[in-house]
Chains A and B, each alone.
Chain A
């Protein structure tokens, strides 16, 4: 009987180790830091080497497109409507197609890295704008009311 339990135990141990090893290695390359705009402002050196998902809101009137290209530039800030003071803005650049939901004041998550000047370079397909879910309606009215 004990022999059987040893066998089961060793199998479980090996499987567990293999699993955690694989998890560890894939997590190391697969993870990204999720940061709000105010958490990274002025600290871009610190974040330069890391892949970041930057969460913020598009500053109205700041997004421009270089004519005849798919190059875009825009600025993001913290959401002023939620009572967080707009502590500053991050400039971002992107090449590619923007989603429909990308617009002034849209809530966005940008994937990419900071360059040495503090400019945020969004990677390919790295712009996610909040899906206009039906459930959003309640939040919207709460903001409007406040």
Chain B
């Protein structure tokens, strides 16, 4: 299998080089057949990479430990889910996964745009192929994920660190990769536009959706990394300006800048050089981030190991990117001249421009801070570092300035805002800002930086609400419907604009969370049994530390009742888990009492003093932190709306009765918020202590009961669909009842299926069944590599058949033109309003 994988990678490399060469030659000679052949080869790369991925996943699933990569990053007892995610878990595989994603995205982008941007496509193919060639070269020559042991294979793999066996950690890297890889598509179109000289705004139209899509996944990737750090690492925070974190943040800044400045070019044909530069910079920063984290250039607590050879290859590649891209920009400067000049600083384009400068400054500053140790070593010979406070000091004003512009930009008119207009527009947002500011000052929050941040949040929300309100009012008058329908129609008509405003609301919520950090409190204590600690309004008592063992791990759990004003409100169970094989690496199970106002966050130190039942604890109060996660949910919602295909929304609104449309949208929003809320359950409950509390809370008495408790989901609605084995929070009487029912049924010696059937009958539908029933999921997962492989093979066959056919029905695709022209006209009409 390993040699098949290596062969597939090699074949992909060869096909890639063919695609690159033949596309360029075809475009230069104007030969349609050569170009088609290049596109075909490009699809073939996608097929080959799918096959190679299938081989890789198969190796992980079957535990083929003769492959070094498989032996290093998995073992036989690892849960199935993590076996699959191990594909992108290590350095070698992550590079291969990168190529796989790029080939899929590239194929989709070319397929979608091949008719509309016929002149650009050959160069898009060539550019993406060149990037693929670089990464394939890395995998084939330097980091072959399929390389095998020369001598005998080890009997079992080394396994994955338990810290990383976490759901967020499994999906965090692919989300980031999708964001990173997605940025290649705009870059390829930008380069193609530069080469062909077709520098009107059409290439932007092809890429803005891709940029938005990649930006969304980059944001989600950042969010997952943050929430993982917050829940799993147990230092009470979520961001520490580590180089690896910064690497992911850098392209996010420039991509955000691009998403804004692209509108200026569409509207006013300005900032053309700037936009091309931003696309190139964003792509460069994705490559640079990859380089930074994998080459050992930057010292980081989670650097991925140093590899001078890789560093050299990457440096060469980056220099090539910069020289070629900016060389092309300089060559095309005459064509990139702006058609308009800035009329006034009180205009929306000026606001966008300033926003761009600040975002770019933020990117450059973070880059500078990240590279500072390397720079200082190169200049002075001393390795100096800067830490989080330095970044925070600088980034706080930057963030506030951005927030100010977020509120200001939408209020300004294009070209020039008249004075009367200004007063009219700014009155309510400014009032909102002043009221919020005064409110938080009255609460005793210092003006700099939290107070100001809150005031600006009020300002932005004021702006967004005013925009929706005024737009809705006009539309209501024109269409004669009610306000809700009018606003929904408004969003449907201009999804990018109003989706963007929703994203702004998400940004505001995130900023609320950041501002809350200013009021953070923390306390380190060692509590003897019975002792109490006080932090803020909470009093925490140590009721003892208990040791449990569930076969896979030993758990040490502290029992900590929490009191507010002398009344017990909760019990927290911070723990340390010692996994078998990884006893040296205990994992921290943080206990978090989440509320919208603040989190009470308790960590237990390792190693706990089990003998005398004392617990050394670090207790944090993190105000408003949950708004960050909710804010990311809102951002995803807004971007989703902006990304909806043109027809989807109008179709939905047109065919549905008005009320239904309104309810659906509201329901969607609520569902989204609830989804965001499912993360509320971060506290792991202490393991089932046998023969303890059986009557009071129905802990599982045997494996059968335990299994069923984990298959049936609590229907109380407050615990975010935890299963009844885990939903043991006080307010939730439902789970108690359901566990009692389960216990009775088990006592009646019912079988597994009978019990499930009983619950389905009683609670109406299958909603209460825990989602991934292990068996079914396992079967499905086993199918994945074969399905992927089969589809890859089908694609190869399809390509072969198609190419071997004579080109007699070339002019077949005529009927599609109408729809295409329609869409184009729609696009242009939309831009006019």
- A interface residue numbers (CB < 8 A to B): 26-27, 30-35, 53, 55, 68-70, 95-104, 109, 111, 125, 128-141
Contact = CB atoms under 8 A, between A and B. Distances in A.
Interface in B506-541: 524, 526, 528
Contacts of A98: 605-606
21 contacts: A30-B393, A31-B390, A32-B384, A32-B386, A32-B387, A34-B373, A34-B383, A53-B385, A97-B603, A97-B605, A97-B618, A99-B233, A100-B576, A101-B163, A102-B606, A109-B299, A134-B160, A134-B164, A135-B90, A136-B305, A137-B73
Interface string B289-310: 0000110000101111110000
Contacts of A140: 158
Contacts of B387: 30, 32, 111
Given A95-B524, A138-B91, 7 more contacts: A30-B389, A34-B383, A68-B526, A104-B584, A132-B164, A132-B585, A135-B294
A102 B305 CA distance: 18
A134 B587 contact: no
Tell me whether chain A's interface is mostly helix, strand or loop, or mixed. mixed
B160 A129 contact: no
B384 A33 contact: yes
A100 B385 contact: no
Contact of B158 (A99, A109, A137): A137
Contact of B524 (A32, A70, A129): A70
B164 A32 contact: no
B585 A26 contact: no
Contacts of A130: 301-302
Given A100-B586, A132-B164, A135-B294, A27 B386 contact: yes
Contacts of A31: 372, 376, 384-386, 390
* Best-surrounded residue of A34, A109, A128, A131 (most CB of chain B within 10 A): A131
A27 to B, nearest CB: 7
A53 B90 CA distance: 28
B5 to A, nearest CB: 18
A99 B585 CA distance: 10
Contact of A135 (B235, B301, B304, B383): B304
A133 B373 contact: no
Interface in B153-203: 158, 160-161, 163-164
Contacts of B528: 68
A70 to B, nearest CB: 5
Interface in B564-618: 576, 584-588, 603, 605-606, 609, 612, 614, 616, 618
A134 B161 CA distance: 7
Contacts of A27: 386, 390
A130 to B, nearest CB: 5
Nearest to A67: B609
A100 B587 contact: yes
B235 A125 contact: yes
Nearest to A99: B235
Interface of B: 68, 72-73, 89-92, 94, 158, 160-161, 163-164, 233-235, 293-294, 299, 301-306, 372-373, 376, 382-387, 389-390, 393-394, 524, 526, 528, 576, 584-588, 603, 605-606, 609, 612, 614, 616, 618
Contact of A139 (B305, B576, B603): B305
Contacts of A133: 164, 302-304
Nearest to A34: B383
A103 B606 CA distance: 10
Contacts of B606: 98, 100, 102
Contacts of A96: 524, 618
B72 A137 contact: yes
Of all A-B residue pairs in the complex, the 4 with the closest CB atoms, nearest first, are A135-B304, A131-B302, A30-B390, A139-B305
A137 B90 contact: yes
A93 B606 CA distance: 16
A33 B616 CA distance: 31
A99 B382 CA distance: 28
Contacts of B383: 33-35
Given A70-B526, A100-B587, A132 B163 contact: yes
A47 B394 CA distance: 27
B396 to A, nearest CB: 12
Nearest to B72: A137
Contacts of A141: 68, 72, 158
Contact of A103 (B235, B585, B614): B585
Contacts of A135: 90-91, 94, 293-294, 304-305
Contacts of B92: 138
A68 B576 CA distance: 18
Nearest to B161: A132
A96 B588 CA distance: 15
A32 B387 CA distance: 8
Given A129-B301, A139-B305, A134 B73 contact: yes
Contacts of A134: 73, 89-90, 160-161, 164
A64 B479 CA distance: 76
Contacts of B233: 99-100, 131
Contacts of B614: 68
Contacts of B618: 96-97
Given A137-B90, A138-B91, A69 B386 contact: no
A26 B385 contact: no
